[in-house]
Chains A and B, each alone.
Chain A
C-alpha cells in the first residue's frame, strides 16, 4: 500500500505532506485518516517545536471527505462510527503538545477545512484558486469532524453558521478578515508565514467581542431561535434538514458526539443519498466529457439577441476568444452593453478588461474564417438558418464545428442544408445562460460523434453540465417540463387558486411554482413552445393560455400574467395545505413524460433524465430527479396512480408503456 502522508523533519519542526496517490484531489478517506492517526501517535511522543501540515498536490489542499465512501454506508450506526473515528483523529491533532499550522492553497473543502481547523493556526495562499468552504449542506449533511463546534468558536457564531448553511467559499483574504486563517500570503511566502507562526506562537484565534458575544450561554437560545426563524423563511426543513440541524446543534451547545450522531443520521437519509447521487453523477458526466479534448479556442457567435449576447459573454468570461456578429450595429451595441454588464458582475479589474478584450463585436464577420466553433443564435426560421449555414460553410475550414441554438427546428432538417451535414450539432443553452448550469448537446441522425464529444467537453469548459439528447421535439428539458406547466394552466382553468397550485409545487420541492415560472418565462414564449410541441407530443393546450396572450398578459415582462407584477412583498399568508391531488397531477405528468423520453430514446439512461431536469429546471434535487422520485415510489405505485388519474382526469395521464416494460428504467452502475 502506498501511503498518502509523508513525514519529514527539520529544525525541530515536523512536516506532514498529504498526497493521495492516484487521485486528482486529496480526499480524507478512512485510510487517509487512519494513517494520520498512526503518524500522530508517533508525533505526540516527540519533542518537536511545531508541526506543519500541507498538501503535496498542486491542485489544492483537500477536497473533503470521500464522497464515494458515503454510498457504501447503509446504516446510521456505521456512519456514526466513521464520523467518530474522524473526530478522534482530529482531536489528537488538536491535542498535540506543540503548535500546528496548516498551509492551505487551492480548494480546502469540508473535511479538509475541518482538518485545518483542528490545527493551532492556518495560513492560506492569496491566489484566486484558493477557496475555503464547508459545503456539506449541498450533500444534505453537515460537518461531522468537529466543524460545527470549532468554526463558531474560532470566528463567532453568525459568520460560522452562515458559512456552513450557505456552503459558499471564501478567498484567503476574506478568510483572513474573518479570522478563519491567521495569515494570507502569496504562494512563495506560505512556508515563511507558517514558520513565523510556529516561532512566535501568538495566542490562538478567537472572535472579537462583537462577533463572539452572541455565543454567551444566556443569549444563545434567543439567537438560535431567531436564526431558525430566518432560515425557515428560505429553506424548507422537511426537504433540507441539514441547515436547520446546524443551527440547532449550535443553539444547544451540542457535543462532538451529538454532531457525529446527527451527521450520521443525515448521511443515511434519502435526501442525502439523492443529493450525493446527483453530485457524483454530475462529477462523472464532467469527467467523461473532459476525457475528450474540445479543441476550441475561438468562437464565432452569429445573432446578438439576448441568447447570443449571453452565450458570447459567458464564453469570454470563461477564457474563450469570441467574436459576435449581427447585421445591425444597434443590436450589437446593446449586446455589448449587456455582455460588459455580465462580465462586470463576475470579474474585476484586469480580469474583466481581458474578458472584454476577448469579446469582439464583429459586424462583418472578419473573425469567422479562424473560428473553431460557430454558434448560430439567430431567429427561429429554417430558411434564414439555411442561408446562414451556407455562408458560414463557405468561409470556415473543414474542422470547424457548427452549432445551432435552435429549440424548435429538428436538427436533421437544418443539417440537410449543409454540404457537410455531420458537422452540425445542437447546443441548447438555457435562459439565462449565465445562471443555468445545463447545456443539452443535441445530436441528429448524422451528427459526427467526434463533434458531439468535443461539444460535451466544451460545455464543461464553460462550467456547464452537458447532457446528451437526441434531436426530437422539445429535446429533453422543455419536453418534460411542458406537460407540467400545461397541467398547472388546466388546474387554473378548473378554478383552482393560483397560489394553491404554486404552493403545492413548492411544497413538493420545486424552486418555484409552475404558474410563477410561466410568468417568468413569458406566457407568449410558453404558448409558442406549447404549440410547437402540441402536435408531435399530442399535447392539448388549455385555452386559458392563449386567452392570456391575446389579452396582452405576457407575464412578468408585461407587468401582468397570471399574477400582477411587481408582486406585493412580505410574508405570504399562512394557508392550509392544498389538496394533495394538485401536486400529484402536476408531478405525475412530468414523471410520465420523463419515462416516455427514455423509452423513445431521446436520452439513453435514467440518470441523464434526472440530472437534466434537476440542473435544467431545478426539479427537487433531494428527490433525485423525476425518475429517482418514481423509483422511490415504486413502478407499481406510479402505474396505479397514473391509471387512477387517467380515469379521473383524462387520457393525458395514460401511463406510458415504459412503466410496464422491463429494463427501460434500469440504471446503469455509475462507476466506470
Chain B
C-alpha cells in the first residue's frame, strides 16, 4: 500500500550566474533564504516538519550534511532530522523522490525537500602531493627534520585542484560532461546550428516567461550585505541571437566540436525547495495543494552518453504507470546541453533506438516542442546542479496548479550515466 503525496508549496532563490569569483551566498545561505520565506507563510511551524532532505553536489568544507545545517538555521529545533542526498545533476530530484518515498510509505507526513548549490563557491583544494608534504611537515620534530621537509616543497605542490571542474568530469570514462554531449550530438547528427537555435529558443522562452511573471510566485528575492539584491534569474539573455551564438568557440572538443558555452547550461548558484505533505498533513494544517507526485523512476546508461538518461528513465516511468509520452501535458527536461536535449528527442523518434535500447516495439515519438520546456531551461536560467531537479518539480507544480488532472514530467540526465524522471499531476485532486 502506498499513500498519496502532495506538493503544497515551494520557493526558490533566483538562479545567480557565476562570474568567475565566489558569489555572495553560500549554498546553506541560499537554502535558508528560500526556506525561511517558504516556512514563514505556512500555517505550521518549522518544528512541525518531520524531516528535511536536500540535494547538494559540491558542499564546501564546513557544510557537511548541509540539510542539517539548513534545518537548524531555519529554526526546526534539534528534534527534526535532516539528511543530504547526492546523485550528481539530479540531487534535487532525488531529494524530492526520497521525501516522496518516506511519505508514501507512511514514515513521514510533512517534509521539506529540495536542493541547493553554490557552484561559485566550489572548494579549491590542495593536491595529493601537497597533502603528503603537509603531513610530513607537521610530523617533523626539531629544526633539522623541519628544514629537510621544507626543502621538499616543489612548485607542483601548489597546483590547486578545482573541485568544480573535477565534479563535471566523469572519472570512469575520463570525459567531461561537455564531451559526453559532443558524443550524443554526433551519434544523432545534431549540428551546431540546431544546438544554437535551441539555445536561442530557451533564452527567448525564459525571457517571455519572466516578462509574463511566470516565475514570480516561485522566486523569493534574495538580499546581500552590500545593499545588493536579486529579484530574478540573471542568466537570461534578451540580447542574444544566432549570429552571436555562432561566434562562440567550442569549449570541450576545441578543434572540431559544436558544444559551446552558449548552447550549454550555465554555471549558477541557487536553491529550490518544496514542501511535501501526506493527505493527513494536508487535512491537519488545511494546506492548499499545488499538485500530486504520482511516481518516479531511475535508469542507468553508458556514462559516455549520459545525456540520454531521460529517455530511459522516462520509458520506465511511463511503462510502470501505463502512460504514453503523448499523455503528458508539460515536460521539464533539464537542458544540461542543447545537444543532449535534442539527442533525447531524436532517440524518442528513432525506431531502432526504441527497439535496441528501450525494448519497445515502436518509437515513442519526440515530445511536442510546445510542451517541452515551454518557459526555457537551464541554458537560459542556469543549472545549480544540486538544486535543478527541485526547480523542475516546483515549476511544473506551479504551472499545472490551475490545470487539475494534467500530467507533468520532470526529467534530468545525470553525470555518471543515469536518468531520473518524476511524474506529477497538477491541481488539487485531494
Contact = CB atoms under 8 A, between A and B. Distances in A.
A354 B74 CA distance: 9
Interface of B: 32, 36-37, 40-41, 73-75, 221, 223-229, 231
Given A336-B223, A353-B73, A363-B221, A329 B229 contact: yes
Contact of A362 (B40, B74, B225, B229): B40
Contacts of A357: 32, 36, 73-74
Contact of A329 (B36, B37, B221): B221
Contacts of B40: 323, 360, 362, 366-367, 370
13 contacts: A323-B40, A329-B221, A329-B231, A330-B227, A333-B223, A333-B229, A337-B227, A357-B36, A360-B40, A361-B221, A362-B40, A366-B40, A367-B41
Given A321-B75, A353-B73, A357-B73, A366 B41 contact: yes
Contacts of B41: 366-367, 369-370
A239 to B, nearest CB: 41
Contacts of B36: 357, 360
A200 B231 CA distance: 64
A367 B220 CA distance: 13
Given A332-B223, A336-B225, A366-B41, 6 more contacts: A321-B75, A330-B229, A333-B224, A336-B223, A357-B74, A360-B37
A379 to B, nearest CB: 21
A386 interface: no
A366 B39 CA distance: 10
A357 B73 CA distance: 7
Contacts, number: 51
B227 A336 contact: yes
Contacts of A332: 223, 229
A334 interface: yes
A353 B225 CA distance: 12
Contacts of A321: 75
A362 B37 contact: yes
A206 interface: no
Interface residues of A, number: 23
Contacts of B228: 333
B20 to A, nearest CB: 23
A92 interface: no
Contacts of B226: 337
Contacts of B227: 330, 333-334, 336-337
B188 to A, nearest CB: 44
A321 B228 CA distance: 22
Contacts of A340: 225
Interface string A315-340: 00000010100000110111011001
B223 to A, nearest CB: 4
Q: List 4 A-B pairs, minimum CB-CB distance, nearest first.
A: A367-B40, A337-B227, A366-B41, A333-B229
Contacts of B223: 332-333, 336, 361
Contacts of A329: 221, 229, 231
B154 to A, nearest CB: 37
Nearest to B223: A336
A337 B32 contact: no
A367 to B, nearest CB: 4
B72 to A, nearest CB: 9
A332 B231 CA distance: 12
Nearest to B46: A321
Contacts of A362: 37, 40
A369 B41 CA distance: 7
A332 B228 CA distance: 10
Contacts of A367: 37, 40-41
Nearest to A336: B223
Nearest to A300: B40
Contacts of A354: 73
A333 B226 CA distance: 8
